[in-house]
Structure 1
Amino acid sequence: MNNIFSFRFNAFVTLNIVSLLLISSWSYGATREYWDLLDQWVFDATNPLLNELRGAWSWFWAVLSIRIADLIPFFFILWFFYAKGVIFESKDRFSGFIGFALLGVVTLFVRELLDFYVECNNLNRASPTVLIGDAVRLSLMYPDFGLKDFSGDSFPGDHAAVLFTWLGYCLFFARNKWTPWILFVVILFIMPRLMAGAHWMSDIMVGGLGTALTTLAFGLYTPLLNTPQKILNKIINRILRK
C-alpha cells in the first residue's frame, strides 16, 4: 500500500465544493432558515418518542448515549479492518489501519478550523435539549447512566465526522457485499446523539459530513498521507519484529 494516495483533481475539487456549499448554506442568509426548519422538524419527530415509547426504545438510545458506549463503534471499525477481505487483504490490513489513523489526525485539524470559523462568525449554539424547555431528557429518565444528552456548543457533530470519514475511507478501498453493513454501522452510531437531543440534524449533516468531505479530499485525493504512512509502517513493523 505504498504511495496509494495521489492527487485527483476532480474528486478533490468536488468534495471540497460540496463541503463548502453545506457550510455556507448553514451559515448565511435565507438558506439557514431551511436548516433550522429541518432541525426543528427532526427534533419534534424524534424527541417525544422517548417518552411515548418509554421502555425498550428509550432504554436502547440511553445505553448508546453513555460515554463508554462510544467505544462500541471503535470495536466495529477494528473488526472491519481485521476481517480478511472485508476492506483489505491480510497483507494490507495493518497499513490500512495506519492510513485511517492518520486520516483521523486530518479530521481533527479540519474540525478545529471549522470550530474557529464558527466562533469567528458567532454561529455557536447549544443542543436542542438546552434550548427547548420541554424537551424530553434521557439523562433525567435514566439518572444512573451518566449519559450525555446536551452540549453548550453542539456544532459540529464530532462522532458523525469520524464515522462519515470512516465510511468514505472504506468506500475508497472496497465496495462489496460488506458495504451495506458498514453503512448500517455508521447510521446506527450517528443516531444516539440525535435521538438523545445532544445534536441538531444540521450538526450532523453540515458539521459532521462537511468535516468528513474536506478530510477525505485532502487525505485520499492528495499525496499528503503517503510519507507519514510509509514512515509509521516501517517503524511499527520494526518494533513488532523485535
Structure 2
Amino acid sequence: MTRPNTLHILLLNALGLVLFFSWYLPPDHGFWFAIDAGIFHYFNAGLVNSRAFLWLVAITNNRAFDLCSLLCMGLLMLSYWQGATARERRHIFIMGLTMLLTAVVLNQLGQRIPVERPSPTLTFEHVHRVRDLLPISTKDASRDSFPGDHGMMLLIFAGFMLRYFGRRAFVTALVIVVVFSLPRMMSGAHWFTDVFVGSLSVVLVGLPWCLMTSLNDKIILWFDRHLPGKYKQASNISS
C-alpha cells in the first residue's frame, strides 16, 4: 500500500488551483488568451498554406484516429505485460480497470466546472475550418471545449504509468499526451488551455488523492478479490 504524503499532495493541489485561477479570474483570461489565440491562428493559417498539413489535421481529427491513441497506450502497457508473471498480468489488467474508473470520475468532476467555452473555430470570425476545405469527417469545433476530456484521459494515463511502471513509462506517456492532444488544437476544436490548464488542473487536484494515497491500491485489491480468475492475490509490482 502507498503511504500518503500529504504535503506533496497539497502542493500539487495548490499548483492545480493556481493554474486554473490564473486563467479563470483575469478578464478575458489574461495572458492565457494571447497564448491561445496565437497558437490557434498559427495552425489555422497553415490549413490553407499547406495541403499536406490540411490533410494531416483532417486525418488526425477523424474519430477513427482516436483509436490510435488507445493503441499506443495499450502497446505501452503491453510492453510491461509481456515480461510479467501471471499474477502481475492480473494486477496490470485490474490497474487498467481502475484507471478507466478514475478517468470517468475525474471527467465528471471536470464537467461540473462552471465554465462553458466554445472552441476557437466558433469564437473567432473568418476562420478556416477543415470540414469546409476537405470532404472528410473530422472534428474541428466544440460548443463546450473546457476542460478537454480527451486530454484529461491522456494525462491520467501518464499519471498511472508513473505510479505503477516508473519514470521511463511516464516519459513515453508524456510523448503520447503531446502527440494525441495536439491534433485537436491544430484543427481548432480545442484551445491550448483546454488541455494544459483545464485538464491539467483537474488532474493535479484529483489524481494525487488516488495515486499518492492507499485509495487506488484498495480499489485494485477489491477488484482482485471479487473478479474471477486463477490468480486472485494481487502482485506487488506497484511498490
Band the TM-score falls in, shorter-chain normalisation: 0.7 to 0.9
What letter matches 1:164 in structure 2? Answer: L
**Structure 1 match to 2:196:** 205
- Selected match of 1:152 from 121, 135, 143: 143
Matching of residues 184-199 of structure 1 within 5 Å: 184-199=175-190
* Match of residue 127, structure 1, among 91, 116, 119: 119
Deviation for aligned residue 1:179? 4.8
1:46 to 29, 35, 43: 43
Deviation at 1:84, TM superposition (A): 3.2
Where do residues 69-148 of structure 1 align in structure 2 (5 Å cutoff)? 69-84=65-80, 89-90=84-85, 91-118=87-114, 123-143=115-135, 145-148=136-139
Report if the CA contact (8 A) 1:161-1:208 is conserved.
Answer: yes
Mark the CA change 1:165 to 1:200 in structure 2 (over 3 Å): closer, same or farther: same
**Aligned-pair distance for 1:236?**
3.4
TM-score, reference length from structure 2: 0.86
SS in 1 for 2:116: coil
Residue 22 (structure 2) aligned to one of 19, 25, 44: 25
2:8 equivalent to 1:11 = yes
Which of 55, 59, 70 is matched with 1:59 structurally? 55
Identical pairs, percent:
26
Matched position secondary structure for 2:36: helix
From 156, 170, 182, the counterpart of 1:165: 156
Q: Which residue is equivalent to 1:218? A: 209
Structure 2 runs not aligned, ≥5 long: 233-239
Distance 1:197 1:237, change over 3 A: same
Distance apart, 1:31 and its partner CA:
8.6
In structure 2, C-alpha distance between the alignment counterparts of 1:114 and 1:84, rounded to whole Å? 30
**AA in 1 matched with 2:178:** I
TM-score w.r.t. length of structure 1: 0.85
- Deviation at residue 194 of structure 1 after TM alignment: 0.6
Q: Is the 8 A contact 1:162 1:212 kept in 2?
A: no
Identify if the C-alpha distance between structure 1 residues 172 and 191 changes in structure 2 by more than 3 Å, giving closer, same or farther: same
3-state SS in 1 of match to 2:97: helix
Correspondence for 1:238: 229
Native 8 Å contact 1:127 1:199 kept in 2: yes
Q: Distance in 2 between matches of 1:28 and 1:97?
A: 41
Q: Is the 8 A contact 2:140 2:187 kept in 1?
A: yes
Q: Following TM superposition, by how much is the alpha carbon of 1:239 offset from its aligned partner in structure 2, in angstroms?
A: 7.5
In the alignment, is the contact (CA less than 8 A) between 1:127 and 1:198 conserved in 2? yes
Please say if residues 129 and 187 of structure 2, whose CA atoms lie closer than 8 Å, have aligned partners that are also in contact: yes
Superposed CA deviations along residues 48-102 of structure 1, whole A, max 9, x for unmatched, are 11211112x221221111112211111111111121379x844424423422432
